[in-house]
Amino acid sequence: MSNLKWNQPEKLRALLAEVVSWKSMTLSEGERQFPAKLQAKLQNLLYFQQLPDQLALHEADFRRKFLTALYKHPNAKETICLMSHFDTVNTEEYGSLEPLATQPEELTKVLRENQEALPNEVQRDLESGEYLFGRGTMDMKMGLVMHMSLLEKATVEKWPINLLLLTVPDEEVNSSGMRHAVPILLELQKKYHFSYKLFLNSEPVFTQEPMDRAHYLYTGSMGKLLAAALFYGRETHAGEPLSGMTSPFIASFLTREMEWNDSFQETVLGETTPLPVTLQQTDLRLLYSTQTPYRSSALYNIFMMKRSAKEIFDIFESVAQTAVAKCNEAYKKICEKNNVEPIGKVQVIRYKDLLNYAIKKLGEGFVNDVIADIQYEEGWDEREKSLRITDKLMLQCQELAPAIVILLAPPYYPAVNSTGNELVEACTTFIKKLAKDKFNLEMKRIHYFNGLCDLSYVNYMGMSDGWSAFEDNTPVWGDSYSIPFEGMQRLNAPVLNVGPLGYDAHKRTERLSLKNAFEEFPVIMETLIHKISRL
């Protein structure tokens, strides 16, 4: 049909350039304004002029909003949720070209004229003219634009299935948009009497290794947890080092044990999680002093596939026990050599146990005030708040030192996987055959998306004791951070990610394949939705 606004390659390309130009870096003013601009764009569709209630903005946090747009066929019960995020990572790595980072057509031209400093494969892609560069082009405004085009076509052609476009902020930081969206998805389901058949995300293809040029689709997404530790030693003066114990001394043992520790590594369906690494290790003092540091902290990144938060936390605790055994042994030898009395033995304490101890000792009111005080600090993110709460409680319970307090910090992305689900398997086979027959495009399936995404929050596959370990040991839980686990369980539909091809997400060479984005991907997505509505 010729009266469609967004269905030709050149129209889609113009729409993408426009949506990319609505700069929307996570936690920026642009991210706040983006959904209203998108709403105005969708109001151009006759369908939403006639049914304005089905296009809505909803509150997330920090004055940010997410958008839902529902195409409802009068006789259809089943709904495909088309998911995307509209925030992007920052643009400072573009340097002097930063003003063009969200002007893809101009940026691509300028990069082509100034390509000497770029890697060879990027120069090749620039020369070929087959790529569009710019922040958000591949990750993931092309996915969103594709969903807009599908929604338009469905409303005009009256496709026999419901489509719910959902686009959210904050995916790149804490996924607060998606966590706020879960109850709204349940509300819409109730209000319009439908069920969710599939959560279809369109995050772009991520390379599995450097120089990887394969095209993937994903039937799940990897999970991630941040394991944190607070190290508590005993202060002394630098002139009397053996009268205390520094926290960096204790920390060095745990960090040595955690880094690249393969007891956290999982292999599922032939895929393996990356090894854990340290993301941060710092002293909690703010100024230089000759009093020795006795409080410091560390954050470790852990990926998972099948394991729950509880299982990861149990492994973390046992690794911490190994670390303190080595630490105590080394310390004992030093004391013997220097003929001094040890100040004590380092112990491992779970945050939950510290909290209970503090409540018993100081009273619930006092502990709640400590937590509320820290929550009041606007400049601190969820990680900083988690460590500061633990630190404040430990300051009041120094008789427990020397110690390592172990805890969990946001964000937590539970792993999700729909491999083996009948619908998802049918879709996977169908897409691979279609891509091969129609475009000679070889698409491979990956069971766990390695880029982390919001699909983690539309489904929860484990038992409630798996997440209670997270609730119990996350100091900001229930105040500034929560995950709607029960709602996620109720959504309970399979997940699939089919997105456009591009390279270098989060780098200044982020680029989208034009042929794939505007010729192959639209055909694959539309044919897939028709196929699903017949299944």
Smallest distance, Å, CB 404 to Zn ion? 34
Helix (H) or strand (E) holding 422: helix 422-439
CB of 218 to Zn ion, least distance (A): 12
Q: Cβ closer to Zn ion: 266 or 454?
A: 454
What's the closest the beta carbon of residue 501 comes to Zn ion, in angstroms?
14
Q: Please give the structure tokens belonging to residue 365.
A: 């009111």
Task: Locate all alpha helices (DSSP H) within 273-415, ordered by sequence.
Answer: 309-338, 351-362, 364-375, 382-395
Residue 317: Cβ-neighbour burial (10 angstroms; 0-12, 13-18, 19+): middle
Decide whether 152 or 203 has the Cβ nearer to Zn ion.
203
What minimum distance in Å lies between the beta carbon of 142 and Zn ion?
Answer: 11
Buried b (16+ CB within 10 A) or exposed e, 166-182: bbbbbbbbbbbbbbbbb
What does residue 380 show for φ and ψ, rounded to 5 degrees? -95, 135
CA of 52: how far to CAs of 28, 41, 348, 406, in Å? Answer: 28, 13, 56, 50
CB–CB of 393/354 below 8 Å?
Answer: yes
**305 backbone dihedrals φ, ψ, rounded to 5°:** -120, -65
220/402 with CB nearer Zn ion: 220
| Ordered DSSP codes for 143-164 | HHHHHHHHHHHHHHHT-SSEEE
Least distance between Zn ion and beta carbon 178 (Å): 11
Decide whether 140 or 498 has the Cβ nearer to Zn ion. 140
Which CB sits closer to Zn ion, 178 or 230? Answer: 178
Instruction: State the minimum distance, in angstroms, from the CB of residue 416 to Zn ion.
Output: 15
Nearest-CA neighbor of 475 among 534, 391, 533, 396?
A: 391
Q: Which is nearer to Zn ion, 47 or 412 (CB)?
A: 412
- Cβ distance to Zn ion smaller for residue 171 or 382: 171
- Residue closer to Zn ion, measured from CB, 28 or 252: 28
* Closer residue to Zn ion in complex, CB, 140/324: 140
Pair of tokens at residue 277? 């690494």
Please, are residues 229 and 405 in contact by the beta-carbon 8 Å criterion? yes
* Cβ proximity of 109 and 126 under 8 Å: no
- The C-alpha torsion from 413 through 300 and 316 to 359, rounded to 10°, is -80
Tracing tokens 């956290």 back to the chain, one arrives at 264
What are the residues whose beta carbons fall under 8 Å from the beta carbon of 44, sequence distance 6 or more? Answer: 5
Shortest distance (Å) from residue 65 CB to Zn ion: 19
Report in angstroms the alpha-carbon separations of 431 from 11, 428, 442: 24, 5, 10
Give least dist CB 43 to Zn ion, A.
26
Coil, helix or strand at residue 512: strand
For residue 140, the minimal CB distance to Zn ion (Å) is 4
Going from the C-alpha of 198 to that of each of 142, 204, 425, 448, 487, the distances in angstroms are: 20, 18, 12, 17, 16
In the complex with Zn ion, the residue whose CB is nearer, 30 or 160, is: 30
Q: How far is the CB of 456 from Zn ion (least distance, A)?
A: 12
Closest listed residue to residue 458, CA positions, set 414, 412, 428: 414
- Between residues 200 and 327, which has the closer beta carbon with respect to Zn ion? 200
Question: What distance in Å separates the CA atoms of residue 158 and residue 135, rounded to the nearest whole number?
Answer: 34
Give the separation between CA 394 and CA 374, rounded to whole angstroms. 14
The alpha carbons of the chain give a radius of gyration, in whole angstroms, of 26
Distance in Å, CB of 85 to Zn ion, minimum: 6
User: How many C-beta neighbours within 10 Å does residue 294 have?
Assistant: 24
Q: Give residues in contact with Zn ion (CB under 5 A).
A: 139-140, 203
d(CA 213, CA 207): 7
Q: What's the min distance (Å) between Cβ of 203 and Zn ion?
A: 5
**Nearest to Zn ion of 73, 141 (CB atom):** 141
- Rounded to the nearest whole angstrom, what is the least distance from the CB of residue 388 to Zn ion in the complex? 30
Nearest CB to Zn ion, comparing residues 140 and 154: 140
